[in-house]
A and B are shown apart, each in its own frame.
Chain A
Amino acid sequence: MLTGIISGYLLRKKKLGFMNGLILTLIWALLFLLGLEVGMNETVVRKFASLGLEAAIIAIAATLGSVIGAKLLWGSIKSHKQ
């Protein structure tokens, strides 16, 4: 990542519009590989249905809790600015 920041800084004069597209393509590749890894793990596939629901509820609760925390913090920052 540091190498990227440095080379990006050195090349800042050049116009490089393709970078956003490249980042998106790499995300696609990574998610594809993640799916592949999960699909090939037989233990996970077999238990997917029974454990999936529990995992989903935990994930939603955890995400919801953290974004509410973020909303409170964001609110306190905004009120401080005014």
Chain B
Amino acid sequence: MKGSLIILSFFATGLLLGVFRFIPISWASAEVSFYVLCALMFSVGFSIGHQPDTIRQFRKIHSKVLFLPLTTIVGTFAGVFVVSFIFKHSTTELLAVGSGFGYYSLSSILITQYKGIELGTIALLSNIMREILTLLFAPILVRWFGKLSPIAAGGATTMDTTFPIIVRTSGKEFSIVSIYHGFIMDFTVPFLITLFCSI
């Protein structure tokens, strides 16, 4: 929990500095984030390779785990469907938002293109929040919903930004599941968003 609060405070600090323009605009380019993400991916890959046991442990995991991306998609849609009736946006529009699965950069760009800036902004905020929810509540999720739940909550981010917290809360033996899940989800995001925006 303490770790998550530190993470959130970094986000909040960045947000405030951005709002009040304390930092030159060029810092906030997607390029800088991309290089930091590359460095993160390298470090995560490094720590996996550093423990060859991880890959061996995957064989012990049940083959049913391969269905995890499917339950994540179905569960997400069921959740969004239930709440969609209280908003003025249509159910399909909101299912498109939900289809971001935490992949806020791609989903917000795609949805802005198809449906305009307002729904695009909702997609950005909603998917950032999903990522933050996962980072914050991963330890509680493990306790209440089992060890696969932080991976399901992380959606498409489970092989990059939420990967380290998943490994810390679910255990190292779930790192391959997490990467597999993130990999599959990443591919479904543009497909499902395009589908729901064109219905």
Give CA–CA (A80, B127) in the complex, Å. 34
Q: Does B124 contact A (CB under 8 A)?
A: yes
Question: Which positions in A face B, CB cutoff 8 Å?
Answer: 1-12, 16, 19-20, 22-24, 26-41, 43-45, 47-48, 51-52, 54-77, 80-81
User: Do B37 and A30 touch (CB < 8 A)?
Assistant: yes
On B, residues with C-beta under 8 Å from A are: 3, 6-8, 10-21, 23, 25, 27-28, 30, 32-33, 36-37, 39-52, 62, 64-65, 67-68, 71-72, 74-80, 82-83, 86-87, 89, 94, 97-98, 101, 117-118, 121-130, 133-134, 141, 144-149, 151-153, 155, 159, 161, 164
From DSSP, what is the main secondary structure of chain B's interface residues?
helix
Contact, CB under 8 Å: A59 / B129 = yes
The secondary structure that dominates the A interface is: helix
**Partner pick for B153 among A5, A66, A81, CB 8 A cutoff:** A66
21 contacts between A and B (CB under 8 A): A3-B42, A4-B42, A4-B45, A5-B49, A8-B47, A12-B49, A19-B46, A20-B47, A23-B40, A23-B43, A27-B164, A30-B36, A31-B14, A38-B18, A39-B18, A47-B118, A62-B101, A65-B77, A67-B141, A67-B145, A68-B75
